[in-house]
Amino acid sequence: MSPYVTMPLVFEGVPEAEMQGRADAFLARMRKRRTVRDFSDRPVPRELIETAVRVAGTAPSGANQQPWSFVCISDAQRKKLIREGAEEEERAFYAGRAGEEWLDALAHLGTDDQKPFLETAPWLIAIFAQRWGHDAEGNRIKHYYVPESVGIATGFLIAALHDAGLATLTHTPAPMNFLNELCGRPDNEKALILLVVGYPKEGCLVPAIGKKPLEEIATFL
């Protein structure tokens, strides 16, 4: 067991008079995020991706185990293979594996089994959850709250990319086992999300959908 060692907290407070303005500005910025499915091939510098992944890496996690791996792919050949793997799964999904109820729920998004953006977009970030880890001697160690931790880190990542001026698509071709081999990840890792990153294509359209109001999503007791 590791010892409990402390250090002073570095807490950068915000003057009270500025707090609501900062919160409102962040809300306005986040309200402009939309999932994009029509990407341009305009390149994105690797450094921007690295910075966003660093932001993801600051996320809280169960027992600080940081049970995530972010595989950042810009190589055209690998993107092509990922597209082929995803479209194979998606063909089966849309041809019946999903079931009528799921396909009905997706109908308003206009999605289908064609995923050209997996090749067009400059970056794919395959996000893996480490179901278990290894200690310094290579012994298997249990990880706690893995999906919760990886979900939070992914939220940080999406927000960081959006804030940097990039568009994303949270893609989940199911099942995603094919990504382990294509990304060279070990068996203890499970692909959770394939994040597509880049710029929207000129004239890109998105589904006309809205978000639930505060009254519907929050209760104050």
Ligand X SMILES: Cc1cc2nc3c(=O)[nH]c(=O)nc-3n(C[C@H](O)[C@H](O)[C@H](O)COP(=O)(O)O)c2cc1C
Phi, psi for 129 (deg, rounded to 5): -100, 130
105 makes contact with ligand X (CB under 6 A): no
> Cβ of residue 12: shortest distance to ligand X, in angstroms?
30
Residue 209 half-sphere exposure, CB side, CA atoms within 13 Å? 14
- Stretches 71-79, 129-137, 163-171, 180-188: which one binds ligand X (CB under 6 A)? 163-171
Are 169 and 196 a contacting pair, CB within 8 Å?
yes
69 makes contact with ligand X (CB under 6 A): no
What's the burial of 39, exposed, middle or buried (CB within 10 Å: 0-12/13-18/19+)? Answer: buried
Q: Which residue from 69, 120, 170, 180 is in contact with ligand X, where contact means CB under 6 A?
A: 170
162 makes contact with ligand X (CB under 6 A): no
What is the C-alpha to C-alpha distance for residues 206 and 29, in angstroms, rounded to an integer? 17
> Cβ of residue 171: shortest distance to ligand X, in angstroms?
4
> Cβ of residue 82: shortest distance to ligand X, in angstroms?
13
Cβ neighbours around 174 below 10 Å, total: 13
188 makes contact with ligand X (CB under 6 A): no
Q: Where are the beta strands (DSSP E) in 4-107?
A: 68-73
35 makes contact with ligand X (CB under 6 A): yes
How many residues bind ligand X (CB under 6 A)? The answer is 10
Q: Which residue from 20, 51, 172, 177 is in contact with ligand X, where contact means CB under 6 A?
A: 172
Q: Where are the beta strands (DSSP E) in the chain?
A: 68-73, 123-130, 132-134, 140-142, 167-171, 189-198
> Cβ of residue 169: shortest distance to ligand X, in angstroms?
6
Q: Which residue from 105, 109, 141, 205 is in contact with ligand X, where contact means CB under 6 A?
A: 109
**Could you list the residues that contact ligand X (CB under 6 A)?**
34-35, 37, 109, 111, 169-172, 209
